[in-house]
Structure 1
Amino acid sequence: MDTDAPGPRVVVGVDGSQSSYEALRWAVRHAGLIGGTVEAVAVWELPGLYGWSGPAVDMDVDEDETRRKMNEELTEVVGADAAASLLTRVVHGNPADVLLRAAEGAEILVVGSRGRGGFTRALLGSVSQHVSQHASCPVVIVRSHEG
């Protein structure tokens, strides 16, 4: 992953959940305080590729279209000025693994407490739990204010 951002990097996982939006807002505020750059990382994966036998999935993912939609969504969440300063990545792979790689050399990794996984009542999502135990930098887990 390209890590040539000037100043401290604040990496944040974004998956479209309310919790990840709270994490993004936190990351933008923190980066502003430390003079850092926010790198928003969205990860897509196809569960069938990892041994889970699910329904047939269309393997054609239009990454440009996904990135465009992500940028629109990020603009809605943090506003146009903040969104324009974000570095965005759309990466294929296991979310925890991708975020751990993206966070190498970062000042901090920020994730939501639970994402779009199937167990929405879990106190801590599997990705946030995994990265909190294995990251090479400090990890902030941000809870959502919903419900």
Structure 2
Amino acid sequence: MDKDVSGPRVVVGVDGSPSSHAALRWAVRYADLIGGGVDAVAAWELAGMYGWSAPAVDTDFDEEIARQQLTQELTETLGAEGAGRVRALLVRGNPVDVLLRAADGAEAVVVGSHGRGGFARALLGSVSQHVAHHATCPVVIVRPEES
């Protein structure tokens, strides 16, 4: 999905977690209110990219499969019509760095309160906390919806 986003742009981080699904829905509703578009950003890193002990290549990662999973996640969360209005971006790099770069010039960046690796008792996940402290635009942190 390589849609042109004209007008205000809302960036949302997606990682498959319930918090990111709630953030995605929030971002789409907000973009509708301001007449803007949504960039759904998923980041991936190579194993060992920032450490010394792990191998430099993640042999289990398949970028094409990851793109398909991102598209499927958008469709399952927003429905086919909603997902068709969102630009899906799969970007290699540290999730915090990727989101901060993507949010440059955006109306807002929206993240879930916890990612897939978050601790249940923590108030904020590390990605959402770093984005909140370093983004150059307003940041919205969304908690997962109650079931």
Structure 1 residue 52, shift from structure 2 partner: 5.9
Q: Which residue of the partner structure matches residue 6 of structure 1?
A: 6
Q: Give matches, 1:1-80, under 5 Å.
A: 5-51=5-51, 53-54=53-54, 58-59=58-59, 61-80=61-80
What amino acid is the match of 2:36? G
Task: Provide closer, same or farther for how the CA distance between residues 51 and 77 of structure 1 changes in structure 2, counting only shifts above 3 A.
Answer: same
Name the CA distance, whole Å, in 1 between partners of 2:86 and 2:33.
15
* 3-state SS of 1:79 partner: helix
Cα pair 1:18 1:144 within 8 Å, conserved: yes
CA RMSD of aligned residues (A): 2.2
* 3-state SS of 1:49 partner: coil
Name the CA distance, whole Å, in 2 between partners of 1:144 and 1:53.
34
Tell me the TM-score normalized by structure 1. 0.90
* 3-state SS of 1:50 partner: coil
* 3-state SS of 1:10 partner: strand
| Number of residue-to-residue matches in the alignment | 146
Question: Post-superposition, which runs of at least 4 consecutive aligned residues in structure 1 deviate over 4 A?
Answer: 54-57
Tell me the TM-score normalized by structure 2. 0.90
Q: Which residue of the partner structure matches residue 131 of structure 1?
A: 131
What amino acid is the match of 2:83? A
Q: Which residue of the partner structure matches residue 143 of structure 1?
A: 143
Name the CA distance, whole Å, in 1 between partners of 2:137 and 2:14.
18
Q: Which residue of the partner structure matches residue 116 of structure 1?
A: 116
Name the CA distance, whole Å, in 2 between partners of 1:33 and 1:110.
15
Structure 1 residue 90, shift from structure 2 partner: 0.4
Name the CA distance, whole Å, in 1 between partners of 2:129 and 2:83.
27
Once the two structures are superposed, residues 48-103 of structure 1 have per-residue CA deviations (whole angstroms, 9 ceiling, x without a partner) of 11116358863463322211111011101011111001101101111001000000
Q: Give the percent of matched residue pairs that are identical in Structure 1 and Structure 2.
A: 68
Identify which range, 61-70 or 130-139, moves more after superposition: 61-70
Structure 1 residue 122, shift from structure 2 partner: 1.3
Once the two structures are superposed, residues 114-141 of structure 1 have per-residue CA deviations (whole angstroms, 9 ceiling, x without a partner) of 1012534311000100010100000000
